[in-house]
Chains A and B, each alone.
Chain A
């Protein structure tokens, strides 16, 4: 049987979405590294890279609109296209959050704020968020519903660590009021990481929608 144009284009859109996912994953990793190592160059790289991610999102949106307009997709094909647009939006938001983390790095450097906080907790949180992005892309690529559902548990871990770290930062503020600026910047950074994890669960929900046609709440 001749492959329909729609299915050829669907594979192309999927390839671009996975490509976009790998850039986003890298941006998050580099943003966290830039913060931990107080490396402004790395932070600037993350900010520059965001443009490429925005462009990919635009391309995916355009392709989806074209396919809906010309190919009349139905059933799973239609769900795939709708989900692609949502996943691209989530990925784009994640990249923006990575940019926000990079801005924290730059701001700290400009104001000569030393981030002498114990990093373990933040690193762990960042690692789980990164893994969630990887798992989300992987489950999308392989239509792996179980993997997608497992993101809910990881998101709980991220939320728990977020609250614990926030608590510790507040304590530090009480003991060392002169650390106020650092505490504010770090609270922002961990908040951005926590939001990244939420977007990863949104992607898992979209995968559930593609595979079942139903809605689920993993967040």
Chain B
């Protein structure tokens, strides 16, 4: 029996007056991949950003309900948001490496969290790049600028950078939408490796991708969680008509 990594209880979110999420409740198992799908503006990215409090940066956002990660209420006053974002890392749509060397991109996080010893940093850089399936491609040019890498490599570098601070949860917001099919399939394979150690939540507009990579899928529509189920079940026999209509392309 897998343990619950993230539990969401009656979570609603408002941008000012406008409600963007409506009473969301579900649980995410640890060491699994959960896909969030739904049409643009359905709330899936907003929801993803509640999981590491990225919405805190937007003025006028109100959140009600509870989100717990390994039993810690992440909106509790005592929570250090920077520590939370170390535990819950995020990879974005477009790769966004720092304009520094490959090595420095990965070492950056551990450094600001206080690791200064060269040997220790070297080890973290290598392990992270290996986990992100990038090591073999860059090991001989760690001092090169990261911006010289291909788009797919840059995205894997961003994943390595996130892994370097040893998170428990990885959030991914359409991580392959800017990549070509080969880079996309590398990232998808990588997810299967990474889920052995991390809990992964991925927003994707590509339903076939959700079907390929995830264990569970959550379908959002107009700020509501319409259906949450095993991916195999949801894609072969969804229980809600709205889900059926969306995944078969009858709307959206």
Contact = CB atoms under 8 A, between A and B. Distances in A.
Interface residues of B, number: 14
Nearest to B207: A74
Interface in B208-252: 208, 211, 235-238, 243-244, 247-251
Contacts of B244: 75-76
Interface string A41-83: 0000000000000000000000000000000111111110000
Contacts of A173: none
Interface residues of A, number: 15
A72 B235 CA distance: 11
Given A72-B208, A74-B207, A74-B211, A213 B237 contact: yes
B147 to A, nearest CB: 34
A175 interface: no
B249 A75 contact: no
B230 to A, nearest CB: 13
B251 A74 contact: no
Contact of A75 (B208, B236, B251): B236
A74 B236 CA distance: 6
A141 to B, nearest CB: 20
A6 interface: yes
A77 B207 CA distance: 14
A4 B237 CA distance: 20
A213 B236 contact: yes
Contacts of B243: 75
- List the 3 closest A-B pairs by CB distance, nearest first: A213-B237, A74-B235, A77-B248
Interface of B: 207-208, 211, 235-238, 243-244, 247-251
Given A1-B250, A6-B248, 11 more contacts: A1-B251, A73-B248, A74-B235, A74-B248, A75-B238, A75-B243, A75-B247, A79-B236, A212-B237, A213-B236, A213-B237
